[in-house]
Amino acid sequence: MDRLNTSKFILSIILLIVFPVFCNSENTKKIKGVFVFGSSLVDNGNNNLLITLVKANYLPYGIDFPDGPTGRWTNGKNVIDILCDHLHLPFLPPFYSPSTIGPNIAHGVDFASGGSGILDATGDIANLIGLDQQIENFVEITLPALETQFTMKSEEFLGNYMFVVGIGGNDYTNNYFFYPTNQTLQDFTNDLILALSSKLKILYNLGGRKFVLMSANPLGCYPSKRNATSCSKELNDAALLYNSQLKLLVRKFREEFHDSNLVFVNSYGIIMDIINNPPQGFENVKDACFVGKELKVCENRREYVFFDGTHPTEAVNLIVTSKAFFSNRQSEAYPMTIERLSML
C-alpha cells in the first residue's frame, strides 16, 4: 500500500470503530419525551391537585424519593421515573400541576390519575380522572401548547415521543368485582380493550407512533386482596385475561397501522416471578411494607415486594422497568424491548 492508500485504510478503520458509537448516541436521543396515561402505578402526582380523598402526597409515600412525598404511589421512584432515567429524560411533570406549562412540557407530561380506569365508571365516586379525560387533556391542552411552542404540526414531532399506558387493574378491582353485574368477564374485558384501542387510534391519528402498554399487575396477590397462604385466583385470572387481550391488541394494531410500534410489558409475569421465586434481597412477598391505619413503615423497603396494599416498592419497579427495557425474553417485553422501540 502506498501512503495515500494507507491513510485511507486507517481512516476507514477509524470510521468503522467510531461510527457505530456515534450512531448509538444519536439513537438514544431519538425520544424527545414521554406522555403517560393511566392509574396510580404511573401517576406522578396528579391527584394532589384534585378534590379527592385518593391521594399519596403524605409520608410514608415518597420516603425514599429525593423530593419526599409527591403523590407517587410508592416509597421511591415509580416505573415512569425509572423509564425516564433510562431514556436520559427529566422526571415528568403531572398535568394538573400549575407549573406544567411552557418549557416544562417539552419532554412530556404525565396525565395519569391514581384510582382511575379505562371506563369512566371506574372510580367515578372518588372524582378521579379517567382515561377519556386524560386523553382529552392531552389533545385539547398539552398538544396545542406544544404545537405553538415548536411551531410545528403534531404529526411532525409526535413520532419522537413515547406514549405509555398503564391502566386496567382498577377496572376489575373497583368496578367489575365491585358493582353487581351480569356481564361476563370476557365481555367486560372486550369492552376495556375496545375502549383502549380507540384511544390509541386517536393518538396515532395525531402522529403518535411509539406505544408502551403495561399489563395489569397480579391483582390477586395484592396484600389487600390475598390471604396468608394464597393469592386470589379470581382476580389474577381476570388480570391474565386482560393481559392476553392487550398483547393481542399490540399485534392487531400493528397489522392495521404498519408504521406504528407497540411494546407490551408483562409486569404481571415479572412481578409473579419475584413473588414465586424471590431474587436475593427480597424477604417479604405478601405483606404491605406500610399499613394505612398504623402509619408504621417497614425499615428495609428493599425486602418487600409491596409498599402498601396495592402498589409495588421501588425495588420491584426497578426490576420491572429494567426488564421492560432490556429483557431478551418476549414473555417479558413483546415483541421488542423499550430500548429497541426508542431506537426505531
What's 309's DSSP letter? S
Calpha distance 174→92 (Å, rounded): 27
Measured from the CB atom, the residue of 181 and 244 that comes closer to ligand NAG is 181
Q: From 69-77, 116-124, 223-231, 265-273, give the range in contact with ligand NAG by CB under 6 A.
A: 223-231
Can residue 227 be called a binding residue for ligand NAG (CB under 6 A)?
yes
- The set of residues, in sequence order, having a beta carbon less than 8 Å from that of 229 and lying 6+ positions away, is none
Query: Residue 325: in which H helix or E strand, if any?
Result: helix 314-326
Can residue 184 be called a binding residue for ligand NAG (CB under 6 A)?
no
Q: Is 154 a catalytic site residue? A: no
Q: From 40-48, 144-152, 180-188, 211-219, give the range in contact with ligand NAG by CB under 6 A.
A: 180-188
33 forms beta bridges with 161
Q: How many CB atoms lie within 10 A of CB 88?
A: 9
Can residue 182 be called a binding residue for ligand NAG (CB under 6 A)?
yes
Measured from the CB atom, the residue of 181 and 205 that comes closer to ligand NAG is 181
Q: Which of 40, 154, 267, 327 is catalytic?
A: 40
- Interface residue with ligand NAG among 102, 103, 180, 281 (CB under 6 A) is 180
The residue length of the chain stands at: 344
User: CB of 211 within 8 A of CB of 200?
Assistant: yes
Q: How many CB atoms lie within 10 A of CB 284?
A: 16
User: CB of 165 within 8 A of CB of 38?
Assistant: yes
Calpha distance 187→12 (Å, rounded): 61
Convert residues 284-313 into a mask of x (bound to ligand NAG by CB under 6 A) and - (unbound): ------------------------------
Can residue 228 be called a binding residue for ligand NAG (CB under 6 A)?
yes
Measured from the CB atom, the residue of 28 and 181 that comes closer to ligand NAG is 181
Q: Which of 97, 113, 308, 327 is catalytic?
A: 308
Calpha distance 237→219 (Å, rounded): 9
Sign of CA dihedral 175, 180, 186, 190: negative
Can residue 280 be called a binding residue for ligand NAG (CB under 6 A)?
no
Q: How many residues bind ligand NAG (CB under 6 A)?
A: 8
- Interface residue with ligand NAG among 6, 24, 28, 181 (CB under 6 A) is 181
Measured from the CB atom, the residue of 182 and 276 that comes closer to ligand NAG is 182
Measured from the CB atom, the residue of 221 and 298 that comes closer to ligand NAG is 221
Q: Is 258 a catalytic site residue? A: no
* Stretch 29-68 residues interacting with ligand NAG (CB under 6 A): none
Task: Kindly give the pairing relationship between strand 296-297 and strand 290-291.
Answer: antiparallel
Calpha distance 150→237 (Å, rounded): 45
Q: Is 311 a catalytic site residue? A: yes
Q: From 3-11, 35-43, 150-158, 227-235, give the range in contact with ligand NAG by CB under 6 A.
A: 227-235
Nine cell digits for residue 1: 500500500
Can residue 331 be called a binding residue for ligand NAG (CB under 6 A)?
no
Calpha distance 108→104 (Å, rounded): 8
Question: Minimum Å distance from CB 183 to ligand NAG?
Answer: 8
User: CB of 37 within 8 A of CB of 109?
Assistant: no
Binding site for ligand NAG (CB under 6 A): 180-182, 227-230, 232
Catalytic residues: 40, 308, 311
